[in-house]
Amino acid sequence: MLDTRFAGKDLNPVWLAPLAGITIPAVRKFYKALGAGLTHTEMISCAGLVHGSKKTFRMMETFGEAPPVVIQLFAGDTDTLLKGVELALKQDKWAAISINMACPMPKVLKKGAGASLLKNIEGAERMIKGLMVFQKPVWIKIRKISDNY
Ligand SMILES: Cc1cc2nc3c(=O)[nH]c(=O)nc-3n(C[C@H](O)[C@H](O)[C@H](O)COP(=O)(O)O)c2cc1C
């Protein structure tokens, strides 16, 4: 379900997935022009937002893109996640929040984020429940990775 602003709208069910380093505004705009019903940002670090990283804040820029745009965020703990979401939602342009519990990159797993959250179900549950306070549509992207990680 999307933000109520999009309820009842006939969106193309073909969407642009979140792709780190790829789904920058120009690419989202291009896919939207090709007919994508919805686009995702790249995965954006909540820790980066919390620490005020300019580079991370720039990842939240949009350039006159047609909505809906969904922001994808990641964090290794609930506190950082909720603080990051709060900062992201100061910009009232996101149709939903996607939480990345799928990324298999070692540098993300090491922080307890991405796919490693599937090995920390209580932590993942705390994150999801914590997000209810924002009254915003949320979806979680998950990926089962090898037990060796
Ligand atoms: C270069 C690259 C970057 C990706 N970045 C993200 C990301 O930031 N967030 C995410 O949830 N998935 C990410 N993915 C996974 C894709 O969104 C998608 O789930 C995956 O490619 C499988 O989709 P497909 O079967 O259509 O290829 C990435 C995949 C690739 C290849």
**What is the pTM for the complete model shown?**
0.94
- The verdict on domain 12-140 having CATH code 3.10.129.10 is no
- Per-residue pLDDT tens listing for the chain (149 residues): 677 777 777 889 999 999 999 999 999 999 999 999 999 999 999 999 999 999 999 999 998 889 999 999 999 999 999 999 999 999 999 999 999 999 999 999 999 999 999 999 999 999 999 999 999 999 999 999 887 76
- Cα 60 to middle of ligand 1, angstroms: 18
Identify the pLDDT of residue 24.
Answer: 97
- Cα 100 to middle of ligand 1, angstroms: 10
Pocket test for ligand 1, best of 19, 108, 118 (most atoms within 8 A of CB): 19
Identify the pLDDT of residue 145.
Answer: 86
Identify the pLDDT of residue 148.
Answer: 72
- Cα 70 to middle of ligand 1, angstroms: 15
**Ligand 1 atom 13: residue of nearest CA:** 19
Determine whether the shortest distance from the Cβ of 142 to ligand 1 is under 6 A: no
Identify the pLDDT of residue 149.
Answer: 65
Identify the pLDDT of residue 9.
Answer: 76
HEC profile for the chain? Answer: CCCHHHCCCCCCCCCECCCCCCCCHHHHHHHHHCCCCCEEEEEEEHHHHHCCCHHHHHCCCCCCCCCCEEEEEECCCHHHHHHHHHHHCCCCCEEEEEEEECCCCHHHHCCCCHHHHHHCHHHHHHHHHHHHHHCCCEEEEECCCCCCC
